[in-house]
Amino acid sequence: MQTALGALALAAPFAGQPAWAQSAEETLIVAGPRTPESLDQEYPPTEAAHELRRNVNERLLTYEMKKGEDGIFYEDFSKVAGALAESWEVAPDFKSITFHLRPGVVSGTGHPLDADDVMWSFERGWNLKSNFHWYMTQILKIEDFDAAFDKIDDMTVKVSIPNASPLLEKLWINSDLGILDSDTMKEHLTDADPWGQRWLATNSASFGPYKVTKYAPGQEIIYEANPDYYRGAPKLKKVIFREMPTSANRLAALQAGAVDVAEYLSPRELSMLGQMPGVTINKVFGNFVHRVEMQNETPPFDNPKVRLALNYLVPRDEIAKAVYFDTARPTKSPISEIYPAFTEEYYNFGNDVEKAKALLAEAGLPDGFKTELGYRTGDQLEEELAVILKTAFAKAGVDVTLSKLPASTLVERYTKGQIPMYFFRDMAIVPDAAYVANLWLNSNSLIDYSRFHSDEVNELINSALTSTEEEKRLSDMKRVQQITMENAPWIFLFNPGYQLATRQNVKGYSWYTPNGNAWFDFYKE
């Protein structure tokens, strides 16, 4: 009797083992600026949403990863690999692609992957007229759902497009095009909500490495590992992401050891951390292009000389040192420098006040002019830059009024062309120069907020989007960059890079084009 009790007493702590399985080594606490606004992948993509989708949704294809010299894992843009698709074929005419799904893939709720999941996800995306629909109609030029999407058998799906597209393969790597677990989704459909939008806004159902177990928007989101994930169970079983809008707070939390990872710290804060023991700072060049866009149709910005003049007034060296602490690189092209076809040969700007004044005089504005620059509420960095630019532009007589605007107001005003200058920091997640140029430089694009218009550029972009000859595409894109730099629709600033500060025992950092962290790659020593 007594030995039995004794054995029980010994066994008791071990019987409690499963509750302790999520120990500190398997839990990651992250402090970030914002929780995702919705868990639905049809919600407009934001930085927080990109990170969510990277961890929860799985897509058909992916890039192979390669390790850089800095020990960080990067996507290898030259090598496409299969994710949910074990293999795939691209037709020689680039007008169709056939996916063979990987057998044995199981979702976070235990349902296996099959072609029905893929077709249902396509149908949903097509009908909701949001992200999926945008990609299909704007990039692949699909017009008819039934003609384009075809279920061949239980594990095979074919997508056919009307015109050849060089992006036919690479597009499916975007995590906005994740495949949903239709079996789970179907349990939550109603007549009023036939695509489960209400449910998917606050729940997750896909084949990715994590599922969302707690979602308190504006406060925190908790991811738990999918033990049946096809690449193996994640090493970090639980990731707690807490929203802390102020970067200084995220820094303090990291210093105090309250969190393991602090996202989006300012360059000043990172330089402070650099001297602290116990903290690692991962830095990559990333793909952000930060610039001040000008309203090219509003005088005096309709004159390229004025736009060029402003580019010569920017004190880039001082900004690089004082604002970015030498972590940023000047932007020398509208295409990010790590994407193929990037070239910096057409970048000639330096800080030359005399040259700027001469250009302004040629444009008929020898005494300068008055204008307005908009930036977002809550963006400390942009405010610092705005104040510096105001002083710098004043040297040539350009008197700038600074307008700190709530995000939605700023977006509305630049969409309607009502604000002459505004900051814009963006990145394109498809590593293709034509895709990037099409977003921002094609005058038919709704996102060409600066209303830059060059017929030659439009032609070159359109041909690059439909041609599959790599040589020609490359030279076309170089020409696009040349025209752009000579016309300066923007004031080119910096690529701030992407930095992630973590405690020293957090390893495995990797970088993906949407800049969201993939917790699957991380582990704690």
Partner 1 sequence: MSQIRNFITFILSRPGAAFGLALLLLQVVAIVFAPLLATHAPTEADPLASLQPPSGAHWLGTDVSGMDIYSRIIYATRVNLLISIVAVAVAFVIGVPVGLVVGYYRGWASTFVMRVFDFIQSFPVFVLGMALVSVMGQEIWNVAIVLAVLFVPIFARLIRAEALSLRDRPFIAAARCSGATDGQIMFRHILPNALTPAIVQISISIGMAILLTAGLSFIGAGVRMPLPEWGLMVSVGSQQMILGVWWVALFPGLAIVFSVLSFALMADALRDYVDPRRERA
Partner 2 sequence: MTFSTTWRRLPRTLRIVLTRLPMVVPQMLGVIFVTFMLVRLLPGDPALLMLGNMATPESIANLREQLGLDGSPWQQFVHYLGGVLQGDLGVSLFTSNPVAVDLMERAPATLELIFYAMILTILIAVAIAVLAVVRPGGIADYISRFYGMAAGAIPDFWVGLLLIFFLFSTLGIAAAPFGRIDPMIAAPPTVTGFYTFDAVIAGDFAALRSAAGRLLLPVLTLTIVNAGALMKMTKTTFAEIWRADFIRHQRASGLSQSRIVRNALRNSLPPIITLIGFLVGFLLGAAVLVETIFSWGGLGQYAVQAVTYSDYPALQGFVLVAAVFILVVYLIVDILYELADPRIQV
Q: Which stretch binds partner 2 (CB under 8 A): 71-79, 412-420, 460-468, 472-480?
A: 412-420
Residue 364 partner contact from partner 2, partner 1, none using kind-dependent CB cut-offs of 5 to 8 Å: none
For the chain, what percentages of helix, strand and coil (3-state, to nearest 5) are there? Answer: 35, 25, 40
Q: Is 29 in the site for partner 2 (CB under 8 A)?
A: yes
| Selected binder of partner 2 within 192, 256, 354, 455 (CB under 8 A) | 256
Give long-range contacts, CB 8 A cutoff, 24+ apart: 253-259. 253/31, 254/31, 254/279, 254/501, 254/502, 254/503, 255/279, 257/503, 258/29, 259/29, 259/30, 259/31
Residue 15 partner contact from partner 1, partner 2, none using kind-dependent CB cut-offs of 5 to 8 Å: none
How many whole angstroms separate alpha carbon 191 and alpha carbon 280? 51
- By the 8 A CB rule, do 113 and 106 touch? yes
Distance from chain centroid for Cα 382: 19
How many whole angstroms separate alpha carbon 4 and alpha carbon 412? 73
Q: Which stretch binds partner 2 (CB under 8 A): 77-85, 124-132, 262-270, 497-505?
A: 124-132
- By the 8 A CB rule, do 96 and 153 touch? no
| Selected binder of partner 2 within 13, 16, 92, 218 (CB under 8 A) | 218
Residue 477 partner contact from partner 2, partner 1, none using kind-dependent CB cut-offs of 5 to 8 Å: none
Residue 322 partner contact from partner 1, partner 2, none using kind-dependent CB cut-offs of 5 to 8 Å: partner 1
- By the 8 A CB rule, do 237 and 21 touch? yes
C-beta closer to partner 2: residue 23 or 78: 23
Interaction site with partner 1 (CB under 8 A): 246-249, 251-252, 268-269, 272, 315, 318-319, 321-323, 377-378, 380, 383-384, 386-388, 390-391, 401-404, 406, 409
121 exposure class (CB count in 10 Å sphere: 0-12, 13-18, 19+): buried
C-beta closer to partner 2: residue 131 or 182: 131
Integer-rounded Cα radius of gyration of the chain: 25
Q: Name residue 400's beta-bridge partners.
A: 371
Q: Is 44 in the site for partner 2 (CB under 8 A)?
A: yes
Q: Which stretch binds partner 2 (CB under 8 A): 212-220, 295-303, 337-345, 517-525?
A: 212-220
Q: What is the DSSP string of 338-387?
A: TSTT---TT------HHHHHHHHHHTT-TT--EEEEEEETT-HHHHHHHH
C-beta closer to partner 1: residue 135 or 324: 324
Q: Is 444 in the site for partner 2 (CB under 8 A)?
A: no
Q: Is 466 in the site for partner 2 (CB under 8 A)?
A: no
Q: Which amino acid, one-letter code, is at 199?
A: W
Could you list the residues that contact partner 2 (CB under 8 A)? 29, 31, 37-38, 43-46, 129-131, 133-134, 138, 201-202, 216-219, 240, 242, 244-246, 249, 252-253, 256, 258-259, 377-378, 406-413, 415, 426, 439, 446-447
